[in-house]
Structure 1
């Protein structure tokens, strides 16, 4: 599903309103789904990324689609602003120069591979978001991370570390899933 420019703008405004509402009330903006077009009521997974001065300020999302798109954006925008453990909660002073980006995820597809080299060979830089899972450890990188880590081997090493594994770790029980995103903001 590709969103039209007016729908993208509506979602970005909804994300900003949820952050403002959070600053005022400590809660995400409540969403009345009847107020939104059918495209924004579809169950979709999203990530909301916040930046200030080109630097990451928060990023929270869902890997599985469990809520309507409009609701997922409001919840994730609030969480990125106030619940990302890497950052202190957003303040009123930071709101004016906050850049918001929304990534709408496609459903994840399991990759089949027989070695680390085989997995690396299947990665599509700039296109793939990857979920890496080993037992209860799991991490993901959105496709936008390729901008900072364009080398597939380094991308995978950093993703392993994000999942709580050593960079050189490999096991026959590792699972990987691919998804794409429609990113705007």
Structure 2
């Protein structure tokens, strides 16, 4: 996975926060890092995650396949300024930020709630109950980073979808939903790479 995309996410944020800054193109980061752009897909679903002092500061993405350059640029801004869980990122926070870009691929619907691997697969859930629609997702790194087992991950996935349930009922809920066909569970792969602001700034200064 390419550090170039993470640098470009930071570049986009810098350009937004510092209006006098001239935006460096994505191609310049590929060149300075010696990375081959042809090894990445031309377009892909993707998520941008900002962290501050190793704690989540914003994460937004899309399951729609977008051109890499415009997709990273768009969601670097969306995740920095439009995540409803957090206030918009400010320039004074830059020194404490890191960013990661995750490209998504290989989506497969599964019929067994345990048919996925922690650290390898992301999960996307969707279902409708009593006239209400629920959906949510966790990127492949979430369960591993949080040190969750599978049942804990599945429990928090329901909470992410804004559905309340006792943890003791989670296994039965998934089994019934998958067996009866009203619950859809999809696993997917993700390629992730990130940089800290310090790393990004050193690379930027070389351009």
Structure 2 length-normalised TM: 0.73
Extract structure 1 runs of 4+ deviating beyond 4 A: 29-33, 36-41
What is the alpha-carbon distance in structure 1 between the residues aligned to residue 38 and residue 118 of structure 2? 32
Structure 2 residue ranges without an equivalent (≥5)? 31-36, 195-207
Which residue of 2 is the match for residue 47 of structure 1? 47
Deviation for aligned residue 1:64? 2.6
Equivalence map 1:24-35=2 (5 Å): 24=18
Equivalence map 1:35-184=2 (5 Å): 37-38=37-38, 42-65=42-65, 67-111=66-110, 113=111, 118-119=112-113, 121-135=114-128, 136-147=133-144, 148-167=146-165, 168=169, 170=173, 171=177, 172=180, 173-184=182-193
Which residue of 1 is the match for residue 5 of structure 2? 11
Question: What root-mean-square deviation, in Å, do the aligned CA atoms of Structure 1 and Structure 2 show?
Answer: 2.4
What is the alpha-carbon distance in structure 1 between the residues aligned to residue 147 and residue 125 of structure 2? 16
What is the alpha-carbon distance in structure 2 between the residues aligned to residue 149 and residue 174 of structure 1? 25
Structure with the larger RCO, 1 or 2 (CA within 8 Å, 6+ apart): 2
Structure 1 residue ranges without an equivalent (≥5)? none
Q: Secondary structure at the match of 2:79?
A: helix
Number of residue pairs matched by the alignment: 168
More strand, by proportion? 2
What is the alpha-carbon distance in structure 1 between the residues aligned to residue 12 and residue 40 of structure 2? 15
Whose radius of gyration is greater, 1 or 2? 2
